[in-house]
Structure formats: C-alpha cells, structure tokens
Structure 1
C-alpha cells in the first residue's frame, strides 16, 4: 500500500463506509453510495466511477464529494486501498475458522494476559498512569474498529475526575491534535502497528509528549514517539503487516490493556 495516501482519516475504507451506513438516513446520497460500495466491495477493483454513477443514479460530482468526505483525494486513490483492505478483512474469516477455535482462544487469551501483565511490570505501567495524571490534556488516537475499549476507559476516567479525549479515523478532529502543547499527552493505540505507521506524519506534527501502545517492535516508531509500551516481548517487528493480522491481541488486547491501566491509575490516584 502506498503509505503516503494514508492518514488518520482514511486508514480504513470499510470502516469509513460502515460509519456512514450506521449513521446516515437511507435516502441520503452518501448512504446510498456507501451501501453500494459495501455490496460491491469484491468487485471494487474493476469498478469505474461511471458504473457507480449509473447504478446509483447520481452525478460523478456527487461521487467526488463523497470520496473527499471519506478522506481520499479521488476515486482511483480509494480503489488503491482495495487489495490490502480485502486481505485485512479476510483475516476475520481466518481467525473464526481456526482449528479447535474455543481451545485456541482460551489458551491464547491466557498467554496474552500473562504477557501484558509481565510487560506492565517490566515497563512500569505506573509511569504511563502518572503521565496521564500530570498532563493538562490527554488525547487517545485509535482506529475506530478498536475504539470501544478506549471509550470504556474514557468513561472510567470521568468517574475519577480526569477528562480524556478520543480521536479516531471516523472522528478525525485534527484541530484537537493541532492545539496540543508540550504539557499535554498523546497516546496512540495500534496493536499491529499498521495504524501507528499510517498516521506517523500526522503524529510527528503534534507538539505533545507522545506515547504508543503496540505489539509491533518496529524501530520506525522511535521517529514518532517519545515512549513506547510493548504488549509483548515477543519479537514481532514489521514496518507494515501486509498479510493481515487477526488474533487475540488485535481483538482483546487493547481492552485488557486499558482495564489494567485503569486499575493502576485508580489505585494510585483515587481520592480516599
């Protein structure tokens, strides 16, 4: 994939389309176009803007506005993401059809939680909790597909009196990032590392202290982040995972990490 076309906004084509499908009225032009692309996703590589305009009874200018809305410069740029997006979503099927699935998940979950617990002690998770406590503004950047765990963490932090903000590729409020200063904290959650690499140029411009939570040990992250918390000490390292990855870390790792971080934070900073 051509990484120069990636950003916080357009990291996931399917995710952007699903956000529109879930939040727009059925008669809305953007809903119609998003639904069409999702239904014809397997044929997207061969689809032309003329086909789409004819089938959806809309003008090409309407499609161009829609493409801009979901974060791509043009129709060709959107199609360029097709092959990798297809590989990524095929990984969902591979994960669900794993041999002896229940045993695989059970054993993998135990290994994952043990690994994250060990890394929390080794890297001192209290250090990150203190960063959050001491920062004026805390912003979590995370892919929308993993954002539910961040939202739970956000609500929990409100309960203890700390405001945390969230930026995802479906809510790419870059003004928040532009306003951050050296007294603020930016936390990127990217288990595979793909999202962190894709948004690297956006992160580089942020003036805040920058942390990354990831499974990926790529040296590239040192160019973007001041502090990196690794979810495992296993040597998983790649500048881009181009074969798709879907395992217990990508599905449950962020949730467990946030629960652990929240527990550390409450234990240290809850007012008695």
Structure 2
C-alpha cells in the first residue's frame, strides 16, 4: 500500500465527516487515479476548494507540498520489491496453489507458538503494563490493527493505552517520549524500527535513538533482539514463507491481556 493511500484512509477513519480535510480525502479516494496526472488547480476544482487549501491539506497529512503528495499517488504493486507483501504473498499464493497451503501455514505457526510459548517475556510486558501509566502501541497497516486490538482488550481490564493511526503522529510520539512511557511496537519484519516502510524506505532509526521510552517490539525477526534501540522483544515464528502475522498478533494480544489481568489483580509493582 502506498503512503498517500494510507494517509487518506487515516483521515477518513479519524476526521469529522463534516470537516474540510475529510471532504478532500474522500474526493481524492473516489477519484484516486486522477491525482497523478492532475495539477493542483484541477484537484482544487475537483474538491471545490482553493489551491491554498489543497496545499495546506498536503502539509497537514505529512507531505512537503501538493507536488510531493502527487508523486506518492501512483499505485505500484510491490513498489519496493518486497516478496512478502500482502498481494504477492497471500493472495498470489492462494491464486497459484489453492487454499490448502494458506490454512496449513496458519495452523503450523499457531502450533509452533503453542509449543514454544515464551510466557516469561509476555509476563515481562504484562508487569510493565502494570507499572507504566502512559502506554502506547503502534504499527503500520495490519500491525496497527494489532495495536488497536490490544487497546480494546486491555480496556476490558480497565487499562487504557493510546494508539494513533497517523504515521507522522506515531513518529512524533516515539521521538519525544520520556522515560515514564512504555511503547509497544508491532512489526512482523522488525523494519518499523529501522525504516519507514511506506515512505520510500526512509531511515527511521534516529527517531528511536532520540526516544527515552521503554520500547518493546513484537516481531518474527530474532535479529531485532540485538537492536540497541529495543529493550526486549516478544518473538513469534513462521514455519513457512506465508505471512500469518495478522493471526499471530491476535493470539499474542490475548496472552498479554490474560497475563496483565493476573498481575494487575496481584498488584505487582516491584
């Protein structure tokens, strides 16, 4: 998924439907193929607003200007030649090999996690959730849905954490976070910590270097355990090349909520 599509969807999910930003985002989504070949005046006319309003909108959603927004518009499948992207890895495999390998991969990964459950590290995070009053959970795309899932599961236990869908706001919070904050990152590859996966793979390491928060990464990449910007990792494993992390996240967040309920009831503060 491209950066512009992600940011437009975020506006539609978070803005007041009566707002100008929502109106522009909805118009751009409905006429998405026109963006890459339209001038700022043509887009302004399409949205029934001024050129300056379009420029302001572009800056509001994290672009330098309209031309930067326009450059991000073309949808190119597998833009970064990443073979594990959703269209290629999931839909492409099912189209080519049938449904059976898809279900087999999910079953194998769940069984592996069950047999190799690292409850000690999950308990570590559960205790941190008790200790920290200010907790954030972030990810991109499917990984951000895991952050929202954890937010709702913990809310049932009267533990309230914060997540933000906007990639720019996630970066701001991480970079400026103080030592009294706990940040949970969902990233199957672990690349979230090193580079912006939707923004031409631009470097993001410095954001974490500046952060003073405790950072916990939920990932399938064991190499991230050695990353100096991560305090500790909760690892899961892929038995095949099929990317099943959106299923694995659901199980992991259930385990986190379960163990948080245990420790919060015991009032573990040490």
- 1:30-55 CA distances to partner (integer Å, 9 max, x unpaired)? 33432333234345443332332233
The answer to whether 1:270 aligns with 2:265 is yes
- 1:105-144 CA distances to partner (integer Å, 9 max, x unpaired)? 3212112223444554287322222222233422212236
* Contact 1:125/1:261, CA 8 A, preserved across alignment: yes
In 2: Cα distance, 1:164 partner to 1:206 partner: 18
Q: Which moved more, 1:22-31 or 1:109-118?
A: 22-31
Are the structure 2 counterparts of residues 172 and 41 from structure 1 closer, same or farther at C-alpha, using a change threshold of 3 Å?
A: same
Equivalent residue for 1:229, pick from 191, 212, 234: 234
Question: Normalized against structure 1, the TM-score is what?
Answer: 0.72
Q: Across the two proteins, how many residue pairs are aligned to each other?
A: 252
The answer to whether 1:110 aligns with 2:104 is no
Please provide the CA RMSD for this pair.
Answer: 3.8
Extract unaligned runs of 5+ from structure 2.
197-203
Deviation (angstroms), 1:84: 7.1
- 1:193-228 CA distances to partner (integer Å, 9 max, x unpaired)? 343332543333221111111234566981432223
Extract unaligned runs of 5+ from structure 1.
1-10, 237-245
Are the structure 2 counterparts of residues 73 and 123 from structure 1 closer, same or farther at C-alpha, using a change threshold of 3 Å?
A: farther
Equivalent residue for 2:68, pick from 61, 77, 84: 77
- Is the partner of 1:172 in helix, strand or coil? helix
In 2: Cα distance, 1:55 partner to 1:74 partner: 18
- Is the partner of 1:270 in helix, strand or coil? helix
* Partner residue, 2:220: 215
* Contact 1:116/1:257, CA 8 A, preserved across alignment: no
In 1: Cα distance, 2:61 partner to 2:142 partner: 16
* Partner residue, 1:155: 152
Map 1:1-272; keep pairs closer than 5 Å. 12-22=3-13, 28-82=19-73, 86-87=77-78, 91-94=85-88, 95-96=90-91, 98-99=94-95, 101-117=98-114, 120-121=117-118, 124-143=121-140, 145-169=142-166, 172=169, 177=174, 180-196=177-193, 197-198=195-196, 199-217=204-222, 222-232=227-237, 247-249=243-245, 251-271=246-266
* Contact 1:193/1:216, CA 8 A, preserved across alignment: yes
- Is the partner of 1:138 in helix, strand or coil? strand
* Contact 1:204/1:224, CA 8 A, preserved across alignment: yes
Deviation (angstroms), 1:67: 0.6
In 1: Cα distance, 2:257 partner to 2:76 partner: 32
Are the structure 2 counterparts of residues 223 and 84 from structure 1 closer, same or farther at C-alpha, using a change threshold of 3 Å?
A: farther
- 1:236-271 CA distances to partner (integer Å, 9 max, x unpaired)? 9xxxxxxxxx8321x323222211222233344434
Are the structure 2 counterparts of residues 255 and 35 from structure 1 closer, same or farther at C-alpha, using a change threshold of 3 Å?
A: same
Question: Normalized against structure 2, the TM-score is what?
Answer: 0.72
* Contact 1:144/1:170, CA 8 A, preserved across alignment: no
Are the structure 2 counterparts of residues 61 and 152 from structure 1 closer, same or farther at C-alpha, using a change threshold of 3 Å?
A: same
